[in-house]
């Protein structure tokens, strides 16, 4: 499971892919279940618990797959290479354009100052896009690593700060 995702039905696609197709998790309100993608990165499926339709310019239609409703969105052609990086778990390699789309439209906290404790909160999913040092230190502390161990963990090979998608994060898992 990813280091910052709590709910087992949650996945990085909920935050990184939905903004690419012009929606976010909150767009679906209480009807949202999870986000899936096809393995080639051209279609995003949002599983919903009702026949709700949340349109964007990329909305392709509502699809019923084995009595489950999915809002289906087409990934813009120019962004498919970035989606393929997300699918491979290579989040820090995403283009700056797509990182900005994610940061601006995912609904994740980009920087919220809490005066009572004089702390700025930022979503770990946002920090992971740029391999932010604060998240690296958080991982170091969470795993109880020495600096040398941390360097081995992150650099050899260069490791992303969020786990890769799992097999059941892809629509094909449910079609087989």
Structure confidence by residue, pLDDT tens digits, 156-174: 557 788 888 989 999 999 8
Structure confidence by residue, pLDDT tens digits, 67-122: 899 999 999 999 999 999 999 999 999 999 999 999 999 887 666 544 444 455 56
User: Does residue 48 surpass a pLDDT of 80?
Assistant: yes
User: Does residue 155 surpass a pLDDT of 80?
Assistant: no
Provide the whole-model pTM.
0.84
pLDDT at 163: 83
Which candidate, 165, 167, 138, 168, places its Cα nearest to that of 153?
A: 138
User: Does residue 123 surpass a pLDDT of 90?
Assistant: no
């Amino acid at each position: 499971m990813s280091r910052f995702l709590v709910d087992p039905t949650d996945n990085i696609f909920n935050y990184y892919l939905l903004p690419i197709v012009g929606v976010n998790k909150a767009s679906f309100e209480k009807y949202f279940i999870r986000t899936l993608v096809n393995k080639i990165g051209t279609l995003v499926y949002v599983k919903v618990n009702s026949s709700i339709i949340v349109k964007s310019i990329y909305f392709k239609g509502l699809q019923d797959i084995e009595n489950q409703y999915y809002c289906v969105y087409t990934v813009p052609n120019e962004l498919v290479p970035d989606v393929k990086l997300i699918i491979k778990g290579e989040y820090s390699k995403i283009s700056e354009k797509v990182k900005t789309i994610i940061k601006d439209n995912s609904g994740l906290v980009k920087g919220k100052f809490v005066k009572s404790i004089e702390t700025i909160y930022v979503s770990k999913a946002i920090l992971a896009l740029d391999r932010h040092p604060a998240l690296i230190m958080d991982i170091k502390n969470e795993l109880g690593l020495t600096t040398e161990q941390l360097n081995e963990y992150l650099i050899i090979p260069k490791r992303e700060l969020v786990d890769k998608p799992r097999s059941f994060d892809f629509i094909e898992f449910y079609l087989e």
